[in-house]
């Protein structure tokens, strides 16, 4: 039994020596530094789709298991931080006694041979009697701020002096600062919340449910002493809880007060970036009912009842949007009004669509660079047709006005995302309505450009599209095209042209230019393909013109003469018709009016570790100052009958040590009246 106990003692000592060693602490600091770099380079707490798009299907789950998307809350990071605190505390305990002895000691028992081995020493030839020399040395040391002790010896006396030993306290301050800062980080991190969840039986729940349906197991009381969450408040609304995002779920943290948003203010730069945003808040104490108002701005937090509120951001608070629904299905009914709030999920079965409309966002200001030099640099025609927004380089910011985003989700849960602009955009003298679409958030938006004619706005293009895509109306359009191009000619030839025009309309409606190209490659010999392609293009352009004229006639507008003045609209309309076949929505939502409602996003934090971190920062500054600027000097004067030996040592070799020793040596030589100096 005793042998086993004795065997365990060296093992425990070895473990304590490892934990308190400088190498172990430096290793932990190195790992923490690398982790901090990762946490800086990799954006933290982003949606999973963003990481999947950035790292791919193989590395994204690997990095997720390693906790790289939330480094500072990962278990291994917290464990390393805890070990660093333990290692530093053990190091302080282990080094405290020896260092305190070193600080208090004078080394008055140093041997003469050791003094002669110092890098800085000198031998003076005495001229004064021993007692006068001792008095002169002690007077000089006292006058220059040295503390000293005298060791009487058989052949003389050794006066051991020290100065600046308090600088060693910087070592304790610096190490204590590490302990305080790391301990504060642990208290303000995810560790207290994880312990609270474990011992309190709490578990996150899905955030896609009303607040009233959140179970008690996902609610934390106001007595929780460490947390960091977001508070979302629309204008005119209030909240008494913060939302804590935990993995894929949420916890509701009750606040000791209710906070209401009276009004949200936002100013913008010319670039469209927010210049200032602030919230006019009303806080009501949950216990006393006391109310007070405060305006919260960025970098001007508010602390009340131990909870600090920061102005974190802003969002839409449920703006009311009023639309015109333009049905894209063949033979559709006329446009009709529709309205919805941002954040709403609206089933569309009653309107005849097997989709759910999710209005996800609204922006009243959109400043874009309209001087793009390449198709990908600014606004882009849908699926790459057309080219860039502007061929000029440089910067040309323009406010394009309001825009909104929405999703159409089918019965299988698959969704496409759209972003539509309310106002037409002028590009090279022509006007368009822009509508962006993408299949997932990992893709950029591609834009459908709907051209406006000079009189009917976008009504003309939508009417042209109905003629192109409605099988019941294609025959009339093909007949008009054939009659215009072969008026008075042979009826059989006109019938063939009408048939060719009808076939072209069918191909175009099925797949746009790609379907026509595929038909040419499969059905026409290679030698005739170029000529046939030009013929098909002339036919489809002519059909577009005739459709436009039919639309004008139906609207009671005068017919136009063909020419270059109207060619840009025909070309833009044809490109938009081809692109709209792959738009992915059965209708187009045109925004007509809106009633904006802002919302503020606050960050609510309770940070018990903040005083520790601030205290640690202060101690670290004092410790670094003490170690760098308070220099320890030890001066030894050995008084012998026929010699005075002067030696100096320092805990750090500095560039001024030679000059300092020379100054003390010469001053002592002058005080002692010594005739010569030997080295």
Indicate whether 395 pLDDT > 70. Answer: no
pLDDT digits (tens, 9 = 90+) for 603-622: 999 998 889 999 999 999 99
∠ CA 147-150-153, nearest 5°, is: 160
Average pLDDT in the chain = 86
Residue 127 pLDDT grade (very low, low, confident, very high; cuts 50, 70, 90): confident
pLDDT digits (tens, 9 = 90+) for 407-454: 999 988 899 999 999 999 988 888 999 999 998 887 889 999 999 987
> Domain 112-164+635-678: which topology?
Double Stranded RNA Binding Domain (3.30.160)
Q: Which has more confidence, 16 or 83? A: 83
Residue 190 pLDDT grade (very low, low, confident, very high; cuts 50, 70, 90): confident
Indicate whether 521 pLDDT > 70. Answer: yes
Query: What is the pLDDT, as a whole number, of residue 341?
Result: 95
Residue 18 pLDDT grade (very low, low, confident, very high; cuts 50, 70, 90): confident
Query: What is the pLDDT, as a whole number, of residue 380?
Result: 46
Helix (H, G, I), strand (E, B) or coil at 228: strand
pLDDT digits (tens, 9 = 90+) for 285-329: 999 999 999 999 998 999 999 999 999 999 999 999 999 999 988
Give the separation between CA 276 and CA 296, rounded to whole angstroms. 11
Residue 391 pLDDT grade (very low, low, confident, very high; cuts 50, 70, 90): very low
Query: What is the pLDDT, as a whole number, of residue 563?
Result: 84
The count of other CB atoms within 10 Å of the CB of residue 578 is 21
Indicate whether 152 pLDDT > 70. Answer: yes
Residue 489 pLDDT grade (very low, low, confident, very high; cuts 50, 70, 90): low
Q: Which residues is 285 bridged to in the sheet?
A: 257
Q: Which has more confidence, 331 or 576? A: 576
Torsion of CA 619, 624, 627, 631, to 10 degrees: -110
Beta strands in 331-374 (DSSP E): 336-341, 345-347, 355-363, 367-369
CB 231 within 8 A of CB 280: no
pLDDT (average), residues 480-484: 88
Query: What is the pLDDT, as a whole number, of residue 258?
Result: 96
Residue 349 pLDDT grade (very low, low, confident, very high; cuts 50, 70, 90): confident
Give the separation between CA 36 and CA 71, rounded to whole angstroms. 8
Q: Domain-by-domain residue ranges, the chain?
A: 2-100, 112-164+635-678, 190-225+227-317+598-606, 320-455+590-595, 462-556
pLDDT digits (tens, 9 = 90+) for 53-81: 788 888 888 888 888 888 877 888 888 88
Using DSSP bridges, classify how beta strands 274-285 and 291-297 pair: parallel, antiparallel or unpaired. Answer: antiparallel
Query: What is the pLDDT, as a whole number, of residue 488?
Result: 63
Torsion of CA 423, 428, 430, 432, to 10 degrees: -40
Percentage of the residues of the chain whose pLDDT score is greater than 90: 40
Residue 560 pLDDT grade (very low, low, confident, very high; cuts 50, 70, 90): confident
Query: What is the pLDDT, as a whole number, of residue 511?
Result: 87
For 1-13, the DSSP string reads: -HHHHHHHHHHHH
Give the separation between CA 643 and CA 676, rounded to whole angstroms. 10
Query: What is the model's pTM?
Result: 0.70
Helix/strand/coil percentages in the chain, nearest 5: 45, 30, 30
CB 543 within 8 A of CB 481: yes
CB 574 within 8 A of CB 540: yes
Query: What is the pLDDT, as a whole number, of residue 9?
Result: 59
Query: What is the pLDDT, as a whole number, of residue 68?
Result: 85
pLDDT (average), residues 210-223: 87
Query: What is the pLDDT, as a whole number, of residue 383?
Result: 42
Query: What is the pLDDT, as a whole number, of residue 373?
Result: 37
pLDDT (average), residues 119-140: 88
Range with the poorest average pLDDT among 150-164, 387-401, 503-517: 387-401
Phi and psi at residue 590, in whole multiples of 5°? -100, 120
pLDDT (average), residues 23-43: 86
Q: Which has more confidence, 656 or 307? A: 307
Task: Give the architecture-level CATH label for domain 190-225+227-317+598-606.
Answer: Sandwich (2.60)
Range with the poorest average pLDDT among 109-113, 255-259, 269-273, 582-586: 269-273
Query: What is the pLDDT, as a whole number, of residue 382?
Result: 47
Query: What is the pLDDT, as a whole number, of residue 3?
Result: 52
pLDDT (average), residues 189-207: 82
């Amino acid at each position: 039994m005793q042998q086993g106990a004795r065997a365990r003692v060296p093992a425990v000592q070895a473990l304590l020596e490892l934990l308190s060693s400088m190498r172990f602490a430096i290793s932990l600091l190195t790992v923490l530094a690398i982790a901090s770099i990762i946490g800086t380079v990799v954006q933290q707490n982003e949606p999973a789709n963003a990481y999947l798009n950035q790292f791919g299907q193989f590395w994204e789950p690997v990095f997720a298991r390693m906790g790289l998307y939330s480094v500072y809350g990962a278990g291994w990071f917290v464990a390393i931080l805890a070990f660093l605190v333990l290692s530093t505390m053990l190091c302080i305990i282990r080094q405290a006694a020896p260092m305190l002895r070193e600080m208090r000691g004078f080394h008055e028992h140093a041997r003469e041979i050791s003094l002669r081995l110092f890098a800085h020493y000198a031998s003076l030839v005495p001229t004064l009697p021993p007692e006068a020399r001792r008095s002169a040395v002690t007077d000089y040391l006292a006058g220059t701020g040295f503390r000293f002790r005298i060791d009487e010896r058989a052949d003389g006396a050794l006066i051991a002096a020290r100065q600046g030993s308090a600088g060693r306290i910087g070592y304790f301050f610096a190490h204590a600062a590490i302990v305080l800062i790391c301990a504060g980080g642990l208290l303000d991190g995810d560790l207290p919340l994880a312990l609270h969840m474990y011992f309190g039986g709490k578990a996150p729940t899905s955030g896609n449910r009303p607040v009233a349906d959140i179970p008690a197991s996902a609610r934390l009381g106001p007595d929780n002493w460490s947390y960091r969450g977001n508070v979302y408040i629309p204008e005119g609304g209030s909240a008494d809880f913060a939302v804590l995002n935990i993995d894929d779920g949420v916890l509701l943290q009750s606040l000791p007060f209710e906070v209401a948003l009276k009004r949200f203010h936002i100013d913008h730069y010319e670039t469209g970036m927010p210049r200032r945003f602030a919230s006019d808040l009303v806080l009501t104490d949950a216990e006393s009912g006391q109310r007070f108002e405060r305006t919260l701005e960025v970098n001007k937090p508010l602390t009340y009842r131990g909870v600090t509120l920061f102005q974190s951001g802003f969002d839409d608070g449920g703006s009311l949007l009023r639309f015109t629904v333009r049905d894209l299905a063949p033979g559709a009914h006329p446009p009709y009004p529709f309205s919805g709030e941002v954040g709403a999920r609206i089933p569309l079965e009653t309107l005849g669509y097997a989709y759910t409309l999710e209005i996800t966002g609204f922006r009243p200001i959109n400043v874009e660079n309209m001087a793009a030099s390449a198709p990908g640099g600014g606004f882009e025609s849908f699926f790459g047709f057309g080219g860039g927004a502007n061929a000029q380089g440089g910067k040309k910011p323009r406010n394009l006005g309001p825009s909104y985003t929405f999703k159409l989700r089918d019965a299988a849960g698959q969704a496409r995302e759209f972003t539509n602009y309310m106002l037409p955009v002028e590009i090279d003298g022509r006007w368009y309505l822009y509508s962006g679409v993408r299949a997932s958030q990992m893709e950029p938006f591609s834009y459908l450009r709907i051209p406006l004619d000079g009189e009917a706005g976008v009504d003309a293009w939508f009417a042209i599209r109905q003629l192109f895509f409605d099988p019941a109306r294609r025959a009339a359009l093909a007949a008009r095209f054939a009659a215009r191009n072969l008026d008075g000619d042979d009826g059989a030839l006109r019938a063939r042209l009408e048939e060719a025009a009808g076939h072209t309309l069918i191909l175009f409606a099925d797949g746009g230019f790609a379907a026509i190209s595929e038909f040419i490659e499969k059905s026409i010999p290679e030698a005739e393909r170029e000529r046939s392609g030009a013929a098909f293009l002339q036919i489809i352009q002519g059909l577009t013109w005739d459709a436009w004229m039919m639309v004008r006639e139906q609207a009671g507008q005068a017919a136009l003469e063909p020419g270059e003045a109207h060619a840009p609209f025909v070309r833009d309309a044809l490109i938009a018709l081809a692109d709209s076949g792959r738009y992915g929505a059965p209708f187009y939502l045109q925004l007509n009016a809106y009633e904006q409602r802002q919302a503020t996003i606050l960050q609510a934090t309770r940070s018990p570790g903040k005083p520790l971190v601030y205290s640690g920062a202060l101690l670290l500054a004092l410790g670094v100052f003490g170690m760098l600027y308070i220099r320890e000097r030890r001066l030894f004067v050995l008084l012998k009958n026929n010699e005075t030996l002067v030696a100096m040592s320092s805990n750090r070799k500095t560039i001024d040590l030679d000059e300092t020793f020379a100054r003390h040596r010469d001053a002592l030589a002058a005080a002692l009246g010594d005739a010569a100096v030997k080295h």
